[in-house]
Structures are given as C-alpha cells and as structure tokens.
Amino acid sequence: MKLSQILFSQGFGARRECEGLIVSGHVKIAGKVVDNPFEDLEPEGLVFTVRAESWPYHAKALLMMNKPKGHECSQKPKHHPSVYSLLPPPLRIRDVQSVGRLDEDTTGLLVFTDDGALIHRWTSPKKHVPKVYEVGCKHPVTPEQVDKLLAGVKLVDDPATVAAAAAEITGERPDGLHGLRLTLTDGKYHQVKRMLAAVSNRVEALHRSGFGALALPADLAPGQWRWLPGPQAVTPVAATATTTA
C-alpha cells in the first residue's frame, strides 16, 4: 500500500493532505523521514510517526477508554462534553463509534471501533454479551434484593421481566455507599438504575468494569484510551448467574 494511502486510511486527512504531510517531511518510519508519498509499504505491523506522534497501523480501529464522569456518548452532545473529544483527531476522522453507550454520570469501560459488523455483533440482544457494573447504592443491599434481581424484576413502563445474569454484594465502599457488582446481558435504557429502584434501592454511583471478556485495566486513568489487540478482546460469551451475599 502506498504511504499516502496508509495515512489516509488511518484518518490523517484527505489524500492531498496526507501527501502534503509526507512531502513536507512530517512522516517518519523507524526514525527516518520518508518524503515519498507513493512509496509502497506493507501496512500490517507498521508503526509510523506523524509530527513526532507514534501511530500503529490498524485496518480496523478498536480501542477502549476509561470514560470519565460528565461526558456524553454522543457526537452532538447537548449538556456536557462528548467522549469523542477525548480521542485524537485521526480517530474522530475515521468516525469510530462507541459500542453501546454510558450515561453522562456513569464511568468506566467504553469500547470504540469503526467496524460496523463488530458493533452489531457486540450489541445484538441475541449475543447476550455480559456487561459488569460496580454499583454504589444509597441503602444496604440485602440478600433478598439480590434474589429478586436474579429472578427478574418488572421495570416501570416495561411489560417484560428483566433479570441480572449475576449479582454480588461487595460491602460498604470508601465513599460510604453500599456496593453491588451486577452483570447484565441486555441493554435497556437506564437499566441498572431502574432495576435497583424496582427492589427499593437507589443508584448513587455507577461504573462499568467489564464488557464481554474485557476488564478495565487498573492503570487506565479516567479519560485515557488505548488500542485493543483485536475482535477477540471482546468475546460475546453468555454470563452465568451467580449470587454472593
């Protein structure tokens, strides 16, 4: 693939802009300036720098972010900054999309990709991809509440019964809230908050710690992102219902 095509595919602008970056000496490979936009290169495994910023080639973008509080999962946010503003311009130009959404006040694991087939696969209700939430509840979580969450509860304005795939009482948290680890395999609007309300509790803090086979790394700070190795990083596997009081 020609170098200019590689830059174009990675979101560094229109074709003429990419050619201009190369001709102007802003692109390096292995520490050496490459100023020929038509040089043929093997893209797989290629790492190049543009204006001193290192960039690995990815045929399809796949990354995760530790979403901070106060950001909307929308390209056109209404009341708060967009999570997309936390990504570098090339990824925004590539039009990566979040795989599902987190509410403005929810933090934690968020996956992005520009692969539409993967988004469909991971968000399809038929796949039952587990999502793990660390919930800070206003009131102590009781074994009876856990049993109800696992058996299924009725949500307001929703005739269907919704059940958690797994639920674990995690005790009092440093912030004084009462902890619950909840695993869901569907994605209804405000589902965690509505499920806790259905068992006479209230969500005061919500953090997603897991998605599919992927867990949020402890060293990924709020607002930071990193590349994922490939589609296998988020494997659609069904969760097994468990309870720990």
89 dihedral zone (left: phi>0; alpha: psi -120 to 50; beta): alpha
Q: Are residues 28 and 77 in the same domain?
A: no
pLDDT tier at 232 (50, 70, 90 boundaries)? low
- Tell me: the pLDDT tens digits for 142-164? 999 999 999 999 988 887 899 99
Number of domains comprising the chain: 2
Q: Are residues 79 and 134 in the same domain?
A: yes
The residues assigned a catalytic role are 103
- Tell me: the pLDDT tens digits for 20-39? 999 999 999 999 999 999 99
Q: Are residues 73 and 146 in the same domain?
A: yes
235 has a pLDDT exceeding 70: no
Q: Which domain holds residue 197?
A: 59-245
- Tell me: the pLDDT tens digits for 88-104? 999 999 999 999 899 99
CATH value at residue 22: 3.10.290.10
Domain boundary among 39, 56, 73: 56
CA distance 113 to 1: 22
